[in-house]
Every structure is written in C-alpha cells, then in structure tokens.
Structure 1
C-alpha cells in the first residue's frame, strides 16, 4: 500500500501539470472517469466524507431541512450549525449529525446541495476546482481512484 503523504505529493505534481490541459479535455476526462469509478463504488462502505468534513449549508438547504424536521430554520442553525471563517454555515461537529451508524443519511433526499454534488468530479470547469479535488483525494477513495486512472489517460 502506498504511503498517503507520498501519494499526495505525487498528486500535487500531477495536478500542477493538469493546469496546462485544455479545460474541455479535462472536464471530459473527469466526467468519464467519475462515471466509471462510481459504477464500481458503494459509498455506504466508506462514508468518510460525512465522517470528516462538513458541507456548506445554503439558506435554501437550511429552510428545506428545517421544514422536513418541523423546526424553524433558526433552531436548525442553533442546534447543528455555525458560521465559519468564510461566512458559510457548516456543521458544529463531525461526523455529520445526520449520519447513521450504517453510513445512511437520515436526510438523504433533502441533503444539502454540497452533499448532492460531492465529490465534484463530474462538473464543468474542473480546472477551477483542482485544488479542492486534490484535497478530496485525502478524503474520498473514489476521487483518489479517479485521479489514479486519470494519470493513465492524460
């Protein structure tokens, strides 16, 4: 098994080279590999994203979740969220309040937009989020696998 620190340094160097790729080529490669890897991946066996990080909660997310929980948005914020240094609402603690012991999300169908889009490897303009994607290689085994496969095709 590879040393995670060494792998991260290798990926940093690789990502520096990706900055020179045409955005469309990069987007297409990520999207294709995202589809391949997530066909083979069961996120419920990991849940590391929910155990180690917090999504950003938008006002729309807060209103939707509070409505489902039958509480006021302010109560949701008071119980579970705080504003971070970037002035975004994030969870007070990890693992996620809504994550069960079985890695199922109790609010999956109304989860925050950031959760629905995670790990952001199938979106347009990947060039603009390469630093985030590099960090996500530390959190999500699927992202790491996407990057490892990317090294073979780009």
Structure 2
C-alpha cells in the first residue's frame, strides 16, 4: 500500500473522531512544529498556490505600493467570476528570495496558511491533504498526528 492509500485511510479515520479533541491535538502539534520550521527556507505556498485577494486587500495594497487602483489591478490581478480576484502569476509577484516583500500587508489567505491553527480541521481535510507534500508544516503535523493517534502505518515500498 502506498502513502496515498495510507493518507486516504487516515483521512477516513480522522472524520470519525471528535472534532473538538482533534482540533486541540492539531493546535498543539501546529504550535510545536511551526516554531521549528522556517518558512523562508521553503516558500512553496508562494511558489505554487493561486492567491485570492479581496477588494479591501487590493485597495490597501495598491495604496501601500502607491499605485492607482486600476494600475494595480492590471499589473497584479486577474478578475474572475463573482468578483473573485487572484494574483495573476505563480509564483507570487511579491515573493523575492523566499520572502514576502509586502509581508506586513499580505493577504488573508497568506496570513492564515496553512490554517492548522483554525478550528474545524475536519472540514478542511481535503485541503490539508492536498497540501501535504507542499508544506512541511502540514506534512509534519499529519505525520505526528498519525503517531499520536497510534494510526497503523503501512510500508510504502
């Protein structure tokens, strides 16, 4: 059985657990693991994810960058359906040497990623497992969670 199958079994197992208890375990693991991970040595989220931008965030960053809003939009955003706005490049325009050049003004999705500190971990299992190989924090939280819950791992050979 491969790692992908193991993770599918683990996801199914996580759904059966008490949500509040699971959140508490994830919060504790995230706090411990994220303290040991230097995101600037990785930057995979900024290098490989689509970044959504809200109207107030676009307005704020345009002002911070001293750009007219329409110029900011042309240079940095793609507008989709229902008002959805995305940064128009991957990796993100604002990533330089694995650091965010607008860190103090970064978007909510960037501030919240990998969202392991937020309640309702079970409701975001698809997202967390989608980013399992992308983010060392998510990877380590999930692997430590398997150990903590005494989940039976399989050989991946």
- The alpha-carbon deviation at position 88 of structure 1 amounts to 2.2
1:147 aligns with 2:142: yes
Task: Name the count of aligned residue pairs.
Answer: 148
Q: Quick check: 1:8–1:138 contact (8 Å CA) kept in 2?
A: no
Q: Which residue is equivalent to 1:51?
A: 47
1:126 aligns with 2:121: yes
Alpha-carbon deviation of 1:84? 4.2
What's 2:59 paired with? Answer: 63
Q: 1:62 to 1:134 in 2, by over 3 A?
A: same
Gaps of 5+ in 2: 150-157
How far does the alpha carbon of each residue in 1:25-67 deviate from its partner, in whole angstroms, 9 at most, with x for none?
A: 1111111110011111001111010001122111121111111
For 2:34 and 2:82, how far apart are their aligned partners in 1?
Answer: 31
Q: Which runs of 5+ in 1 are unaligned?
A: 1-5
Change (3 A) 1:133 1:48: same
- For 1:17, the equivalent position in structure 2 comes to 13
2:93 aligned with 1:97, yes or no? yes
| CA distance in structure 1 between the aligned counterparts of 2:122 and 2:104, rounded to whole angstroms | 29
Q: Could you say which structure has the larger radius of gyration?
A: 2
In structure 2, which of residues 100, 108, 113 is the aligned counterpart of residue 113 of structure 1? 108
**Higher deviation after alignment, 113-122 or 74-83:** 74-83
Q: Kindly state the Cα deviation for residue 86 of structure 1 after the two structures are TM-superposed.
A: 7.2
The TM-score, its normalising length taken from structure 2, stands at 0.88
CA contact (8 A) 1:81 1:91 kept: yes
- Kindly tell me: are residues 85 and 16 of structure 1, through their superposed partners in 2, closer, same or farther at Cα, counting changes over 3 Å? farther
User: 3-state SS of the aligned residue for 2:8?
Assistant: helix
